[in-house]
Amino acid sequence: MSLIFVLNGPNLNLLGKRQPHIYGTETLADVERDCRALAAELGHEIRFHQSNREYEIIDWIHEAREVAAGIVINPAAFTHTSVAILDALNTFEPPVIEVHISNVHKRESFRHHSYVSLRADGVIAGLGTQGYLLGIRRVATLIAAAAS
């Protein structure tokens, strides 16, 4: 059993209420529940966090360095601004999958650039909250491949 961190950036605490035509009606609690169920099915455990503060996300990545076998991260707006989150992820060796609920490439041009993509092993965008589950599946596949 490995530990996978699922990290969420700013405003995702409002998932379900926030621009539902873009982000859907599922809440972050719904996403957390589904991520936990899938991780258990795959024989892994998750630590699920959300913050509106950049430093907290960085601190969780540092914590992940010590204990986690992979990270699934939706950095939200920090995707497009945060060299600090990129730097933190660059200190983390195991798999990193970047998730966006919406298709950022279909939206404003400032959402087309991601600092995090410079580190991510894979990027999922536009698949709704299902992207988190696919991200966990991919991390689990990479964990199994690294162990074999």
30-38, 85-93, 95-103, 135-143 -> range binding ligand DQA (CB under 6 A): 95-103
Is residue 23 among the annotated active site residues?
yes
CB 6 within 8 A of CB 84: no
Tally the C-alpha atoms within 13 A of residue 132's C-alpha that lie toward its C-beta.
30
36-44, 83-91, 94-102, 137-145 -> range binding ligand DQA (CB under 6 A): 94-102
Is residue 105 among the annotated active site residues?
no
The residues, any chain, with a CB within 8 Å of residue 143's CB and separated by 6 or more, are 2, 4, 44, 69, 70, 94, 95
**113 labeled part of a ligand binding site:** no
Sole binder of ligand DQA in the list 2, 51, 74, 82 (CB under 6 A): 74
Active-site residue identified among 23, 44, 115, 132: 23
Structure tokens belonging to residue 98: 């970047």
DSSP-assigned letter for residue 73: E
33-41, 44-52, 73-81, 87-95 -> range binding ligand DQA (CB under 6 A): 73-81
Sole binder of ligand DQA in the list 64, 68, 100, 138 (CB under 6 A): 100
- Is the dihedral angle over the CA atoms 11, 15, 18, 20 positive or is it negative? positive
Which residues are at the interface with ligand DQA (CB under 6 A)?
Answer: 11, 74, 76-77, 79, 100-102, 104, 111
